[in-house]
């Protein structure tokens, strides 16, 4: 019985496609800081720098000031199941291109605040149920605030 052996590159490509579809962090940059508490894009009031706050497994928060922030996979920071000043067509991921914050105390049902620029480049606030993708900042572009 003769058979043609399948190319292993095919299986590798298949694994990468499946991992990407399920939101895997397979493309996460190992040298990036994950802004898992707060992120804000550059603005005149913060010296045109990004602000990124992280919390580690021990609950210790660190604030970084970064010259650039972007995800290694090219996707924008986003949150899920959001409501805001304009109706959204789905409960899927919504782009948070201006900032992302959380406040479970004042908004327990929608603790994630997603800030999005509208067509006029005005920042609008959306309240969301959960984070989808956190912003990332390359560690070489950041310094701890106050140092």
**The total number of structural domains that make up the chain:** 1
Of 79, 75, 46, 65, the residue nearest 137 (C-alpha):
65
Residue 3, domain member (yes or no)? no
Q: How far is residue 130's CA from residue 110's CA, in Å, rounded to a whole number?
A: 7
For the record, the structure tokens of 23 come out as 């939101």
Residue 108, domain member (yes or no)? yes
Residue 95, domain member (yes or no)? yes
pLDDT tens string 60-115:
999 999 999 999 999 999 999 999 998 888 889 999 999 999 998 888 999 999 99
Total-model pTM: 0.75
Q: How far is residue 29's CA from residue 26's CA, in Å, rounded to a whole number?
A: 9
Residue 85, domain member (yes or no)? yes
**Where in the sequence is the domain holding 38, given as residue range(s)?**
29-144
| DSSP alpha helix (H) spans, the chain | 8-21
Task: Map tokens 């090219």 to a residue.
Answer: 74
pLDDT tens string 32-62:
999 999 999 998 888 999 999 999 999 999 9
Cβ contact 131:41 at 8 Å: no
């Amino acid at each position: 019985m003769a058979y043609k052996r399948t190319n292993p590159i095919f299986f590798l490509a298949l694994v990468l496609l499946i991992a990407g579809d399920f939101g895997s962090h397979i493309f996460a940059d190992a040298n990036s800081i994950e802004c898992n508490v707060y992120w804000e894009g550059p603005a005149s009031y913060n010296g045109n720098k990004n602000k990124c706050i992280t919390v580690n497994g021990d609950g210790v928060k660190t604030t970084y000031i970064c010259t650039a922030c972007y995800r290694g996979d090219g996707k924008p920071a986003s949150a899920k199941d959001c409501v805001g000043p304009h109706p959204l067509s789905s409960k899927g991921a919504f782009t948070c291109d201006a900032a992302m914050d959380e406040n479970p105390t004042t908004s327990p049902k929608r603790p994630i605040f997603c800030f999005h620029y509208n067509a006029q480049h005005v920042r609008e606030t959306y309240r969301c149920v959960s984070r989808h993708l956190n912003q990332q900042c390359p560690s070489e572009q950041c310094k701890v605030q106050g140092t």
